[in-house]
Amino acid sequence: MLRSISLFILCLTLPTMAVPCQLRVGWEEWFPLIHRQDDQLTGSEYQLMQELATAAGCTLVFVETPWVRALQLLKSGQLDMLYGASRSAEREAYAQFSQPYRYEQMVLVVRAPQEQPPQPMHELSLATWLAEPRSNGQRRVLGLIRGFNYGALEPLLRPQAVPTRHLEVRWDQQLHQLLAAQRIDGYLVEISVARAQQAVGGQPVRLWTVSEQPHEPMYLMFSRDVPHQVIKDFNEAILARTSGSLAPHLRPDTARQRTPSHR
C-alpha cells in the first residue's frame, strides 16, 4: 500500500509531457489559394495555414473533402479545423472560432464580349442586378458554391419571401464553365479566384464589386473537441502577424482599400 502511494506521489511530481498538437484540416481545390502542384499542396492560403500552425505549435494533416461534407465532419469531430470560414449563429452552435485572420472581398463575375478588352472594376448593386431580367424577360440565374455562407449577402441570396434563381455547384471552376455555357448569368467568387480565372483565358469575364457586401472577416473554424488552449495559441499567432510583420492584405485597416481573397 505504501509503495502504491509513493508511486502515485512520484507521478504527480513528474513534469507533464506535452501532448503533440496535430489537427485534421478539411480542404478542397480553391485555386489559387490552395491547390495541388507536382503532388504537393501549395497556394497562399495553404502557406498561411502552415505558418499559423507552426507558430501555434501544431502540425496539420490535410484531408481532401467537399466543403459541405467538411462542415459535417467538423460537427461530428472527425475533422478538427477548417479555414476561410464565415462566422454565423448556426455554426457557433457546433463549432469554435479563432479571431479573424484575414479579410475577404467577393466580386460578381459576368460574361464579357469576346472582342472587349479587360475593363476596370467598378461597383454595382447586386439587388439591382438580380432584379433586372434577361433579354427574354426571365429572371437572371446566379451561380453559388454549395454550403458557402456569403455573409452580409445571405438575406439577398436566399430571402424568405421571394426566392432568387440560383444554381449551386461544388467548386469555382464549375461556375466558370456554367457561365461560358450560358447556364448562369453571373456568379460570386473571391477576387483572387476571379482574377486567376481571368488569367487562364477562355470565356472573357468582367468583374464587379458588390455594394451590399463590405470586406468581411474570415475565421478558422474548430471542432468542439479541440482544446481551448489550441485556439488560444492560434489567436496569439494571428495577433503576432497583425502586429507588424503582417502582409497589408491581412490587416483589417488596409483590407477596406483592397484585398485578395470565404466560405
Separation CA 193–CA 107 (nearest Å): 10
Judge if 22-103+216-244 and 106-210 fold alike in CATH terms.
Answer: yes
pLDDT on residue 18: 59
Report the pLDDT value the prediction gives residue 237, as an integer from 0 to 100.
97
* Domain extent listing, the chain: 22-103+216-244, 106-210
Mean pLDDT by 10 residues, the chain (263 residues): 44 53 96 93 96 97 96 98 94 97 92 81 94 90 91 80 77 91 94 87 88 89 98 97 57 37 54
Residue type present at position 81: M
Cβ contacts of 179 within 8 Å, gap of 6 or more? 109, 110, 111, 143, 185, 186, 187, 203, 205
Q: What is the pLDDT of residue 154?
A: 87
Q: How far is CA 175 from CA 14, 22, 61, 145, in A?
A: 58, 34, 28, 8
C-alpha cell at 148: 458557402
- What separation in angstroms does the CA of 192 have from each of 45, 189, 213? 11, 8, 16
pLDDT for 243: 77
Instruction: Assess contact for 77 and 224: CB atoms under 8 A.
Output: yes
pLDDT of residue 7: 42
Question: How many angstroms from the chain centroid is the CA of residue 256?
Answer: 18
Domain 106-210 architecture? 3-Layer(aba) Sandwich (3.40)
How far does the chain reach from its first CA to its final CA, in angstroms?
Answer: 59
Q: Say what the pLDDT of residue 258 is.
A: 32
> Does domain 22-103+216-244 fall into CATH 3.30.70.20?
no
Strand order across the beta sheet in which 205-210 lies: 122-124, 205-210, 106-111, 186-190, 142-145, 166-169
pTM, entire model: 0.77
pLDDT at 44: 94
